[in-house]
Chains A and B, each alone.
Chain A
């Protein structure tokens, strides 16, 4: 049993490490490790060195996390289960913060932005921005699946055992029961439906976050990048909803139909990480393909005028000062609550915006509430 838990923990840690490792490849070249650089400096030795250091740091963080997991597994299995993932995230972040300093130093010492023209580019027309459609099919199909599962549950409600098995240990053996009630039978389905509806709402909300032109992009390229990245991220959100629905459906059906079939729970235990890896891998491949199609014509050589770029496209202003440690965005002038992440996929909040601060406090309060309720429950 211990072995399975440790394997899953190790696998999640490996997934996080792998994502951190390839992240520099996924990011735009004018923002290596979240440092804004002019596109004439793409491929600078300082940039290469910093990315190499970051990757070494991520590899070391993975080894340390794994070692911590193995070292604590004998004494306290709970610690071995809970420690590696946060440790990996923290150490990976530390190596990001340390490695990017190399680029910041080179940029400061050689004054990379001196004499480089920078421009902010955006449209002033009302009807220029075409919203990327939300892939509603994923969300609707996920909800339909869960509603069908709930409908099936209602039809067999009389035949379900009382008490209901509601919790399984890592080996797939029932270790928790609850009196049969609407909540113990349909609770998981309801929570999943809530999560999917929330993801659906978030999908609409993130479209309002601006994706501004990045350095060196022509306006046409900027638009393609905006639509491409929005499309892929919205698809990822939709696929996450589908994943939640499928895993919930399988787990709930097992609980109703065959709570003691450990081979079934074992299959779910394999299906879940396999689906997660498949979704992430497909996303990464499509993202890299998008980046490749956008970087044509190659921007490697400095300022060579080519037939495809009739007018030179200036860089975007150095906005490092708004990004604390290259992670936290604080810009009081920016009216946007959500902005694309500096390093990583997705969006982050603007802490210079009152609503951004409010949302963060709300999330922290929610997490605190969940933690408190989780620690109180076993005692009562």
Chain B
């Protein structure tokens, strides 16, 4: 599962890594049980500091999105549709309020705000659907996953 980081963005690299992994989970690219590469391995692959990757993994772990154990490393622990924890809900609602307030304060009509929300949620669902489709096609045709699509 490839992820892109923008070194010129004002958003810190660890935050970008965290955000891209969360988005990949929402889009069904990273399913529960999917093993993430070790902190060192990810740092090697990107050529970035080990501590940066560690920080991103720590944040994901604190939110219970991944679990890490000695045997299987870091593994995706949650999936779309499984329900949320109350602690998460309080924190998320606060951040959502700020984000929506920003749009309203900038003068975006309420309908547009809702439209963007709907569009984003729909695109996650659409990508999840396509990911499952691709997955079933791979397993039914039983072709080796090497090489990818032509």
Contact = CB atoms under 8 A, between A and B. Distances in A.
Contacts of B21: 124
Contact of A120 (B4, B34, B41): B4
B5 A119 contact: yes
Given A220-B148, A317-B7, A317-B8, A123 B43 contact: no
A335 B46 CA distance: 10
A331 B6 CA distance: 18
Interface in B1-33: 1-8, 17, 20-21, 24, 30
B36 interface: yes
Contacts of A223: 148
B92 to A, nearest CB: 23
Contacts of A212: 45-47
A130 B146 contact: yes
A294 B24 CA distance: 28
Nearest to A350: B47
A127 interface: yes
B50 A335 contact: yes
Given A122-B2, A125-B1, A336 B38 contact: no
B1 A118 contact: no
A130 B48 CA distance: 21
A123 B7 contact: no
Nearest to A211: B45
Given A118-B7, A125-B37, A220-B148, A210 B44 contact: yes
Contacts of A119: 4-6
Interface in A120-167: 120-130
Nearest to B21: A124
A28 B147 CA distance: 21
Contacts of A331: 47
Which size bracket describes the interface of A in this complex? 20 to 34
| Size bracket of the B interface | 35 or more
B47 A336 contact: yes
A122 B46 CA distance: 6
Contacts of B49: 333, 335
Contacts of A126: 35-38, 41, 73
A126 B42 CA distance: 9
B40 interface: yes
A122 B50 CA distance: 14
A57 to B, nearest CB: 31
Contacts of A333: 47-49, 52
B8 to A, nearest CB: 6
A176 B146 CA distance: 56
* Highest count of chain B CB atoms <10 Å: which of A122, A212, A333, A334: A122
Interface string A96-123: 0000000000000000000001111111
A219 interface: yes
B35 A125 contact: yes
Contacts of B5: 119-121
Contact of B45 (A118, A122, A317): A122
A344 interface: no
A245 to B, nearest CB: 32
Interface centre among B30, B44, B146 (most CB of A within 10 A): B44
A129 B43 CA distance: 14
A314 interface: yes
Contact of A124 (B3, B40, B52, B147): B3
A126 B30 CA distance: 11
Nearest to A128: B1
5 contacts: A119-B4, A120-B47, A126-B41, A210-B44, A219-B2
